[in-house]
Chain A
Amino acid sequence: MNPSVDALRATFGPAIGRALESCGDTIVYVGRDALLDVMAWLRDTPQQTYDYLVDITAVEYRDRERPLEVVYNLRSLTRRADLRVKVELDPQGDLTVDSVVSLWRGADWLEREVYDMFGIPFRGHPDLRRILMWETYAEGYPLRKDFPLRGRFSRAEQVRQALAAQPEAHYSLEELSIAEAYEELPADMKERLRHGERGRLPDSE
Chain B
Amino acid sequence: MKRVIESKAVAGQSPNYLLAKLQDLVDWAVNSSRANSLWPMPFGTACCAIEFMATAASRYDFARFGMERQAFSPRQADVLICAGRLPFKLAPVIRRIYDQMPQPKWVISMGACASTGGIFDNYAMVQGIDTIVPVDVYVPGCPPRPEGLLYGVLLLHKKIKGESLFDRVPRRDEQPLDDRGLRLPPEQIDEISEPFGNSIHQFRSA
Q: Which residues of A contact B (CB under 8 A)?
A: 62, 133-134, 139, 142, 145, 147-151, 154-167
The B interface is mostly helix, strand or loop, or mixed, namely loop
* B95 interface contact, C-beta 8 A: yes
Q: Which residues of B contact A (CB under 8 A)?
A: 88-89, 91-93, 95-96, 121-124, 126-127, 131-132, 177, 180-182, 186-187, 189-190, 193, 195, 199, 201-203, 205-206
The A interface is mostly helix, strand or loop, or mixed, namely loop
A148 CA / B202 CA spacing, docked (Å): 6
A151 CA / B120 CA spacing, docked (Å): 12
B127 touches A149 (CB 8 A): no
A147 touches B189 (CB 8 A): no
A158 touches B88 (CB 8 A): yes
B182 touches A160 (CB 8 A): yes
A150 touches B123 (CB 8 A): yes
Return the contact of B127 from the options A148, A155, A163, A165 (Cβ within 8 A).
A155
B96 touches A162 (CB 8 A): no
Given A148-B202, A150-B121, A155 and B96 contact (CB-CB distance below 8 Å): no
B195 touches A150 (CB 8 A): yes
B199 touches A150 (CB 8 A): yes
The 14 listed contacts between A and B (C-beta, < 8 Å) are: A62-B206, A142-B124, A148-B123, A149-B122, A150-B123, A151-B124, A155-B131, A156-B182, A158-B123, A163-B92, A163-B181, A163-B182, A164-B181, A167-B92
Which residue, B91, B121, B123, B205, has most C-beta atoms of chain A within 10 A?
B123
